[in-house]
Structures are given as C-alpha cells and as structure tokens.
C-alpha cells in the first residue's frame, strides 16, 4: 500500500530534476513519484526514460503532457496518484532526511490538518517566506506592494502577507503555502475539488488553500523539518538560481505577465463581491504597475548580463 504520492510537475529543468529524483531515493519507504513533464524542450522526458527506467526505478512514473499549465498537470498527477497523502513539490525541492516521514506522522496524529509545509530554505540558506503566507486581501496586497511589510516585519497590520509576527521556529497554523512543497491529505480533494486550471502558473496554490480553509481544514507550518528550494529554477527570475536556470528570455518575461494575471484571477474569484469596485480598480492598478516595473527591471538585467540584445525585448 502506497502511503505517499509525490507529484512533480516539470518544465525545462532536466539536470535539477535528475538531482531531485536521486535525492528522493530512500527518503521514504512507502512512496511513488509521479513526474508530469510539460513538454519540456530541454530533453527532460528523454533523460528520465534513459536514466530512470521503470525496471530499475519502479517507484518513478513519467507522464508526458502538453504544457497546459501547472494546475492542469497537477490534476493529471492527482488522477494517477494512489497514496493517502499527496506531496506536491517542484523539481527544485530537496527534502532533507526525515522530512517526509516526520510530516506524515504529524498529520496522522492531527486529523484536522489537511495541508502542511515545512521550513523551506533557499540556496543562500535564507528562509523562503512564500511558504509562510497570509491570504492576499486588498489591504495585505497593498501593504506588500508598498513595502510596508519590509519596514514593519513583525506587524500584524502591515505584514499580513508573510504573517511576520509568528514564531518561525515553532509549528503553527498559516493561511497558505506554495505548491513547491505542499503535503495534502488526499481526501481534502473530495471536499475542495481539483486544482483550478484558470491559473496557468502562480496562484493555483493560493486558490486551493483558500478553498481548503473554507471547508474547515487546517494548514500548518512545520519548521521541525527542512527542504532546500532552488527557488525560480524553471522560470529564471530569481537571483539565487540564475546560475542554474535554463529559462529562455521569453520565459523570464512571460512570468511577470502570468503572475499579474494570476493575482487578478484570484481577486475576481474570491474578493470581487466582498469589496467595492473602486477598490478593485486600485488593486489592479497596483498589480499592473508592479508588472511593468518587474518587466522593465528584468529587461535591464538581461541587457547588462548580455544574455540577448535589448532589441529582442522591445
């Protein structure tokens, strides 16, 4: 009987995916690993067929899928998985020994916990605070966009985005975590439904956690266990992984538009009826401003790094 199904949606991270799978070997005795490859042009699927054949790695399954987005492929993995728990993680996630076992044991003892994550450390050993989030209400989002959460990181009023008042060394409940390392009790999907495919990339985890909370499930941050996260390896917009990413210039620029679109989808799905139209306009103005700023900054960085002629992006 399979206890844990690990679902990895991969796009264009062949070398990191190889290391990820090797790291998972022997990490937990009773698991299966399902890799859904989103038509990666870097030969990820071919690498898996050659280096992780089914006869030698019966616990690893490759599913080749069209690139219809992260949520769509997460649902493909869901349909294939047979475990009592589903661990969604990126190909750039490297759980330490005991992490998966410890988290499963915790959830076995706490039946009201539907979703859990652990301490995520980036390659520079800084905490990945995206694993420790509050829901992006209009005020939370605006205070984050204005950097008020950075000025007052421990404030409940101004840092609802990262819930900065919590003790990061003790287990506690959070609003949401990211699908780069999200352990989900399988029967949560019976209450919540599948991943929303309106979200191509980004936001699908925020939406799923919101729906889980509405059904009464707890979401826990468990810092007793650790996973290293090569944040941004597949999309190429994080400085901590710029030396290992193979993301194209087009992918890097597309990510800013995709992120902005996800925020708008979430707002209209969950907040539109709760707040006046004028507030929606202000939030969308802030989102659009951030998108323009990040896109311009990425173009400048790529030009300075001589990754491509500036004319290519104009």
Distances 60 to 10, 24, 297 between C-alpha atoms, Å: 14, 10, 39
Based on the fold, state whether residues 305 and 216 are members of the same structural domain: no
| Number of domains composing the chain | 2
Q: Is residue 193 part of a domain?
A: yes
Are both 219 and 268 inside the same structural domain? Answer: no
Query: What is the 3-class SS of 33-71, one letter each residue?
Result: EEEEEECCCCCHHHHHHHHCCCCCCCCEEEEEECCCCHH
* CATH number of the domain residue 83 falls in: 3.90.550.10
**Same domain flag for 175 and 271:** no
In DSSP notation, 244-286 reads T----HHHHHHHHHHHHHHHHHHIIIIITTTS-HHHHHHHHHH
List the domain range (segments joined by +) for residue 304. Answer: 245-312
Q: Torsions phi, psi of 171, nearest 5?
A: -65, 140
pLDDT tens string for the chain (314 positions)? 899 999 999 999 999 999 999 999 988 888 999 999 999 999 999 999 999 999 999 999 999 999 999 999 999 999 999 999 999 999 999 999 999 999 999 999 999 999 999 999 998 899 999 999 999 999 998 898 889 999 999 999 999 999 999 999 999 999 999 999 999 999 999 999 999 999 999 999 999 999 999 999 999 999 999 999 997 665 545 455 455 556 667 777 788 889 999 999 999 999 999 999 999 998 899 889 988 988 888 788 777 776 544 443 33
CA atoms within 13 Å, Cβ hemisphere of 94: 17
- Predicted confidence at residue 245, as pLDDT, reads 57
162 is a domain residue: no
- State how beta strands 93-95 and 60-65 pair: unpaired
Residue 261 lies in a domain: yes
């Amino acid at each position: 009987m399979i206890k844990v199904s690990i679902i990895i949606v991969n796009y264009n991270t062949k070398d990191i995916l190889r290391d990820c799978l090797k790291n998972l070997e022997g990490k937990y005795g009773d698991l299966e690993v399902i890799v859904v490859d989103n038509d990666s042009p870097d030969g990820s699927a071919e690498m898996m067929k050659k280096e992780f054949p089914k006869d030698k790695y019966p616990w690893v399954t490759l599913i080749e899928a069209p690139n219809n987005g992260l949520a769509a492929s997460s649902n493909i993995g869901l349909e294939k998985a047979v475990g009592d728990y589903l661990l969604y993680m990126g190909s750039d996630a490297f759980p330490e020994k005991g992490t998966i076992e410890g988290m499963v044991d915790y959830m076995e003892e706490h039946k009201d916990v539907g979703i859990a994550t652990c301490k995520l450390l980036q390659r520079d050993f800084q905490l990945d605070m995206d694993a420790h989030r509050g829901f992006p209400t209009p005020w939370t989002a605006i205070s984050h966009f204005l950097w008020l959460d950075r000025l007052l990181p421990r404030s409940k009023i101004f840092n609802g985005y990262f819930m900065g008042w919590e003790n990061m060394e003790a287990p506690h409940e959070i609003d949401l975590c990211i699908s780069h390392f999200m352990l989900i009790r399988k029967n949560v999907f019976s209450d919540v439904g599948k991943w929303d495919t309106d979200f191509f990339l980004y936001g699908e985890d925020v939406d799923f956690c919101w729906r889980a909370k509405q059904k009464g499930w707890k979401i826990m941050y468990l810092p007793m266990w650790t996973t290293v996260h090569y944040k941004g390896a597949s999309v190429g917009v994080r400085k901590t992984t710029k030396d290992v990413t193979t993301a194209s210039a087009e992918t890097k620029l597309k990510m800013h538009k995709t992120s902005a679109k996800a925020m708008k989808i979430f707002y209209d799905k969950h907040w539109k009826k709760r707040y006046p139209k004028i507030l929606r306009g202000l939030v969308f103005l802030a989102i659009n401003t951030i998108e323009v700023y990040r896109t311009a900054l990425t173009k400048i960085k790529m030009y300075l790094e001589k990754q491509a002629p500036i004319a290519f992006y104009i």
